[in-house]
Amino acid sequence: MIGRSAGAVIALAAACLSIGALAQTSQPSPFTGGIAGQVVNASGIPQMGATVLLLDQVDRVVTRALTDESGAFLFPSVAPGVYSLKVTLASFLPAVKRNILVQPGMRSLLSVNLAGALSTIELVYSSSSPTPLMSDQWKWALRSALSTRPVLRLRPAIDLPSSPLPGEPGAPAFSDTRAIVRVSGGEEGRITPYGNEPDLGTAFALATSLYGANQLQLSGNVGYSAATGTPAAGFRTSYSRGAPGSEPNAHFNLTMRQLFLPARAGVGLITGQQGAAPSLRTMEAGFSNRRDLSDNLRLEYGFSIESVSFLNTLNYASPFGRLTYEIEEGESVDVAFSSGAPPPDLVPFEGPNASLQRDLAALSLFPRVSLRNGQAKVQRTTSFEIAYRRTFGSRMFTAAAYQEAVNNLAITMVAPDGAVPPSELLPDLLANSAVFNAGDYRAMGYMFSLTQSLLDELNITLAAGSGNALLPGGHTLDSDHPDGLRKMLHHGQRRWAALVANGRIPATGTRYTASYQWADRRALTAGHFYLTQSVRPDIGWNVYVRQPVPAMPGFRGRFEATVDLRNLLAQGYLPFVTLDGRRVLLLHSPRSIRGGVSFIF
């Protein structure tokens, strides 16, 4: 009995030495992180030759490694983000761990246990510098393991204190606290076919862990519209619940927003208050969850209940879901459905603060509200989608097809005062333009894309597809009534093509995304919110840059400067001329130029 216990102690100590050695060699740079670990079997014997795959958030292989004679593996330079790890070895079931957070200058150390019936991967610790051989978690493991207790009784003078585990008495209530504060400004707010996406000037997000895997997040977006000078604010609270030691799946959120629209001519006639600034208020309660139905079948689902108050109160329920079937390694099929507003919970976000970025994006996604016959209407979309994804080497191929029904399509209009009756034109929330209700339509579309990774620092994507477009029956309006304009707009199919480049400059840590989409200039091509694709190119030429800024000595946290340029060439503008010779423009995405500075800690 003592011999077996001593063998277990020696195997466990060897694992500690291997992981400790990995922590002291090849430290990550300040702009990248690292992942290291050791693969052993159920008896603690190191396994040589195991294949370790590092996957991104869309399960694309980023890099791979083989374990050495001590069972150790190392990914020394990994871009910040959230990854998954898959370990395979003959005669063992694969081990998979998702949501591994990689932060700049930090290294995550993993312990992989391959078993005949159950394989596991556990996070040992994350560190930015060489650590002692024995962490508190390892000391606790030695004290609690049945196989090592006889050996510890032989030396009663040995004291291995341990820290309380999450959920145990004495454990801290709040841990792993992180936050983002962002200040920005620029010309116009960002408007897309999916909704208004304003950056009101000051945004913040704070996240902390509650007794382990439970996560609480608070975010806000406050300021004034640069184009109209009207106040606006939004706040969102998110809560994720899970068992200690596991990643939380269930997600609850409550979002409230309020904006005061500019008191332009015509709005007072609708509200009955001349010179008043009408307010748009929204409240949304949402829930989402993720379940692994089997080893190769994953279900993500949720719903939200929304209330929009402007002139009258509109209440909606918006369900969504996505089912992913992994045919084999690097090959999968997705089926998705959504009704109502686009679900931000299904949008992939990369980086060490992906959850905070997702909450800020969800908070800024205002509903597209328009007027028709003096009544407020909200754009809603019902979409069915199917997609296929295949990864081979450094390439990834995707194909997707969808069918959608859109009610109360809201598009941006630039028109002189009096060109359109006030009961049909709503002043835009964030720009010197207005919103026009173009009616309802049904459409089908598809998309193909091919992504090539170059030198692990650059991804090039070629995409092409077909979707709904508004086709003008002419450019001279034969009536001053808005129904005349609606009758001139016909729905049809138009093809498009896009080129997207995103990557990172190693010397400076700069991350960038640049895209250009070709589309028919004689039509107004509508964008589809793909639930199964990570590539969603906008019309025209777009550039987004994130530049790390060196922090001051002794200052915890980091700074990041951002530049967001949308539709720089002002493409996708559809002109019309009224009976009295005035010019009216219809567009989906106006040109916008914004910049900001974020403080992340």
Give the pLDDT score at 211: 65
> What's the chain's average pLDDT?
76
Alpha carbons 417 and 103: distance in angstroms, whole number: 52
- 115 with 227, same domain: the answer is no
Angstrom CA distances, 527 to 6, 438, 443, 561, stand at 64, 15, 12, 28
DSSP for 62-100 reads: EEEEE--TTSEEEEEEE-SEEEEEEEE-TTS--EEEEEE
Q: How far apart are CA 594 and CA 182, in angstroms?
A: 12
Q: Which of 172-176, 576-580, 589-593 has the lowest mean pLDDT?
A: 172-176
Quick one: CA torsion of 93, 98, 103, 107, rounded to 10 degrees? Answer: -20
The secondary structure element, H or E, covering residue 256 is strand 250-260
Predicted local distance difference test score (pLDDT) of residue 403 = 93
* Cβ atoms within 10 Å, residue 451: 21
pLDDT bin (cut points 50, 70, 90) of residue 152 is very low
Which of 45-49, 147-151, 269-273 has maximum average pLDDT? Answer: 45-49
Residues 136 and 183 in one domain: no
Nearest Cα residue to 225 out of 258, 266, 254: 258
- Reduced to 3 states (helix: H, G, I; strand: E, B; else coil), residue 490 is strand
Task: Please write the tens of the pLDDT for every residue from 466-516.
Answer: 988 888 888 887 777 777 788 888 888 889 999 999 888 888 889 899 999
Angle (CA) 152-155-159 rounded to 5° is 75
Read off the pLDDT band of 269 (50, 70, 90).
very low
163 within a domain of the structure (yes/no): no
The answer on 190 and 140 residing in a single domain is no
What is the 8-class DSSP label of residue 536?
-
Q: pLDDT band at residue 430, thresholds of 50, 70 and 90? A: low
Q: Which amino acid is at 59?
A: D
- 8 A C-beta contact, residue 154 and residue 3: no
Domain of 17 in residue numbering reads as 2-154
Looking at the predicted structure, is the pLDDT value of residue 319 above 90?
yes
Confidence of residue 390 (pLDDT cuts 50, 70, 90): very high
The yes-or-no verdict on residue 136 having pLDDT over 80 is no
Rounded to two decimals, the pTM is 0.67
Residues 144, 229, single domain; the answer is no
Integer Cα distance of 200 and 204 in angstroms:
11
Clarify whether residues 242 and 388 are in a common domain: yes
pLDDT at 150 over 70: no
> Is 166 inside a domain boundary?
no
Last-in-domain residue among 109, 126, 154 = 154
CATH code for the domain in which residue 475 is found: 2.40.160
Which pLDDT band, with edges at 50, 70 and 90, does 451 fall under?
very high
> What is the pLDDT at residue 272?
47
- For residue 167, being part of any structural domain is answered with no
Q: Are residues 134 and 181 in the same domain?
A: no
* Whether the predicted pLDDT of 23 surpasses 50: no
Asked if 406 and 468 sit in the same domain, the reply is yes
- Among 590, 283, 199, 213, smallest CA distance to 413 is for 590
Closest CA to 465 of 500, 493, 442: 493
Residue 39: CATH number of its domain: 2.60.40.10
Q: Are residues 76 and 206 in the same domain?
A: no
Q: Which of 154, 182, 211 is a domain's end point?
A: 154
128 located within any domain: yes
Percent of the chain with pLDDT over 90: 15
Q: Which residue has the tokens 């640049």?
A: 514
Q: Is the pLDDT of residue 427 over 90?
A: no
Instruction: Tell me whether residue 212 is in a domain.
Output: yes
| Residues 87-121 pLDDT 10s | 888 777 778 887 888 887 788 888 888 865 455 66
Residue 425 lies in a domain: yes
Domain boundary residue, one of 97, 121, 154 = 154
Closest to 544 in 3D by CA, of 585, 506, 589, 511:
511
The pLDDT of residue 298 is above 50: yes
Asked whether residue 160 is assigned to any structural domain, the reply reads no
Beta-strand pair 33-41/107-114: parallel
State the pLDDT confidence band at 429, using cuts at 50, 70 and 90. low
Give the residue from 270, 274, 239, 267 showing the smallest Cα distance to 253.
239
- Select the more confidently predicted residue: 326 or 155: 326
- Tell whether the model's pLDDT for residue 149 goes beyond 60: no
**Residue located via tokens 């603690």:** 44
Judgement on whether residues 113 and 142 belong to the same structural domain of the protein: yes
Of 143, 109, 121, the closest CA to residue 21 belongs to 109
**400 vs 225, higher pLDDT:** 400
Q: Among 51-60, 93-102, 164-173, 547-556, which stretch is predicted with the lowest mean pLDDT?
A: 164-173
Same domain? 57 vs 204: no
Indicate if 200 and 55 belong to the same structural domain. Answer: no
Round to whole Å and give the CA distance between 531 and 476: 38
Nearest CA-CA partner of 298 in 55, 53, 59: 59
- What's the pLDDT at 161? 44
Domain count, the chain: 2
Taking only the tens place, the pLDDT of each residue in 345-388 is 777 666 556 677 777 777 777 788 888 887 888 889 999 999 99
Same domain, 129 and 241: no
In a domain, 168, yes or no: no
**Average pLDDT rounded to a whole number, residues 578-591:** 82
Question: Widest CA span of the chain, in angstroms?
Answer: 100
